[in-house]
């Protein structure tokens, strides 16, 4: 049994923990910006393949107090690195320090690298580690003088699903899009509409959720090449995920004022294998009529910071409130960085939730 840590965007700890629990994983605990669980390497494969809202799955090698470089060195040297990293494994180091006496990330990286090399050299009775084999990315966090050392089992982050090589100017991260769909409680019943779909992230994630299709079926993971996680573990986890899929059809609608964005969204949906589930159209959200009799609108209209001047965005929110906001039978879930969104939209939200789109503080304004 190992302990795993899944870093996630701030605000997504709850949805991420819920996903892990629904997968049947043990001892799930959410904390600031990350979620822990315990399990074996099959649990690790399951989480990597099926997680929608987490960024990666880290295997925890150990934790200890580290107020000095000596303590950091000795703490790392005491870890059972040879149980995981083979003689030729590559072991680069990255991480972060927060509120700690050790605050220089490059210095900590150097110390951890050196301690790991000494330990592996002792384990394999060699002074020469070629680092020509598979990747064992070491990650560290030093928070309030407590160091934790991890191995990254994921590789390229989990939001890289593989369907979105092309995106518009301000795309939503796939993990956040999946969380919005989850917070809207969309499971494939009724309809879902994104009237500002850009590269199509929200409708595509909605279709994957409706089908219960695991987002990681077609991508590689770092730990697939590790001796402790045999190929069969990954093949079994993929078979299990496929056996849980639902066939559809679903009523998902994606529109955008920009024909180029529309074409890109369609292309991305084709790559994700969900083009048949989504009806695409070019339309202005300020005048568009509802594509179905009831459902949920889930969208991220332009924010002032990145795509339009703030005032233009505020005028757009006003227009949205007069059209989308008055549609009968449609719940609305609108993410925006505008703190006064409700005032411009013309109605107080039923509930608001703080979320981060990358580094931007946003609010999910929920009307239901
Ligand atoms: C922040 S982006 C959405 C990004 C999208 N969620 C993604 O992941 O790619 C906002 C989108 O709204 C579109 N847009 C701006 N004004 C619009 C309007 N009045 N009606 C419909 N779409 C509009 C833009 O073309 C842009 O694609």
Q: What is the pLDDT of residue 168?
A: 66
User: What pLDDT shows up at residue 228?
Assistant: 84
Tell whether 279 and 331 lie within a shared domain: yes
Question: What contacts 11, CB < 8 A, 6 or more positions away?
Answer: 353, 354, 355, 356
CATH code for the domain in which residue 273 is found? 3.40.50.150
Calculate how far, in angstroms, residue 256's C-alpha sits from the geometric centre of ligand 1.
Answer: 6
pTM of the model: 0.94
- Please list the rounded mean pLDDT of every run of 10 residues in the chain (368 residues): 96 96 96 96 97 98 98 98 96 97 98 98 95 96 98 96 78 94 94 97 97 94 88 94 94 97 95 96 94 96 76 94 94 96 97 92 96
* Ligand 1 atom at minimum distance from 286 CA: 19
pLDDT at residue 166 in the model: 63
If one counts the domains in the chain, the total is 2
Has residue 270 been placed in a domain? yes
Query: Same structural domain for residues 54 and 88?
Result: yes
| 226 within domain boundaries | no
User: Atom of ligand 1 at shortest distance to CA of 201?
Assistant: 8
Nearest to 226 by CA among 22, 11, 79, 48: 48
Cα–Cα distance list, 93 to 90, 117, 228, 366 (Å): 10, 11, 20, 41
One domain, residues 261 and 332: yes
| Ligand 1 center–CA 45 separation, angstroms | 35
Q: Is 257 in the pocket of ligand 1 (CB under 6 A)?
A: yes
- Residue 84, both tokens: 């995981």
Cβ neighbours around 348 below 10 Å, total: 11
Report in angstroms the alpha-carbon separations of 186 from 52, 169, 209, 254, 290.
Answer: 14, 26, 8, 15, 17
Domain edge (last residue) among 152, 187, 221: 152
- Residues 101 and 131 both lie in one domain: yes
The range of the structural domain enclosing residue 198 comes to 174-212+247-367
What does the pLDDT read at residue 309?
80
Judge if the beta carbon of residue 170 lies within 6 A of ligand 1: yes
Q: How far is the CA of 361 from the centre of ligand 1 (A)?
A: 19
């Amino acid at each position: 049994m190992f302990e795993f840590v899944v870093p996630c965007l701030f605000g997504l700890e709850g949805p991420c923990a819920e996903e892990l629990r629904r997968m049947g994983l043990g001892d799930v605990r959410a904390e600031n910006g990350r979620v822990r669980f315990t399990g074996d390497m099959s649990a690790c494969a399951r989480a990597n393949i099926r997680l929608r809202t987490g960024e990666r799955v880290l295997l925890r090698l150990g934790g200890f107090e580290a107020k000095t470089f000596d303590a950091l060195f000795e703490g790392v040297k005491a870890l059972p690195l040879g149980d995981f990293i083979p003689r030729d494994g590559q072991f680069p180091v990255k991480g972060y320090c927060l509120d700690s006496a050790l605050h220089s990330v490059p210095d900590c990286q150097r110390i951890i690298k050196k301690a790991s090399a000494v330990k592996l050299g002792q384990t394999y009775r060699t002074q020469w580690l070629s680092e020509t084999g598979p990747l064992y990315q070491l990650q560290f966090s030093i928070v309030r003088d407590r160091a934790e050392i991890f191995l990254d089992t994921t590789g390229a982050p989990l939001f890289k699903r593989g369907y979105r090589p092309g995106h518009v100017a301000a795309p939503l991260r796939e993990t956040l899009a999946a969380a919005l769909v989850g917070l809207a409680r969309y499971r494939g019943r009724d309809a879902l509409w994104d009237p500002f779909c850009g590269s199509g992230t929200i409708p595509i994630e909605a279709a994957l959720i409706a089908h219960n299709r695991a987002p990681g079926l077609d991508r590689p993971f770092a730990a697939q090449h590790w001796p402790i996680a045999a190929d069969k573990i990954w093949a079994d986890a993929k078979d299990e995920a496929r056996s849980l899929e639902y066939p559809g059809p679903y009523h998902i609608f994606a529109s955008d004022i920009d024909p180029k964005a529309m074409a890109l969204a369609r292309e991305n949906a084709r790559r994700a294998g969900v083009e048949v589930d989504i009806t695409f159209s070019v339309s202005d959200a300020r005048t568009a009529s509802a594509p179905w009799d009831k459902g949920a609108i889930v969208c991220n209209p332009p924010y002032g910071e990145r795509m339009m001047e703030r005032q233009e965005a505020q005028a757009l929110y006003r227009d949205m409130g007069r059209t989308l906001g008055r549609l009968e039978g449609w719940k609305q879930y609108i993410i925006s960085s505008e703190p006064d969104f409700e005032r411009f939209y013309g109605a107080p939200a039923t509930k608001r939730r703080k979320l981060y789109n990358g580094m931007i503080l946003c609010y999910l304004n929920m009307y239901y």
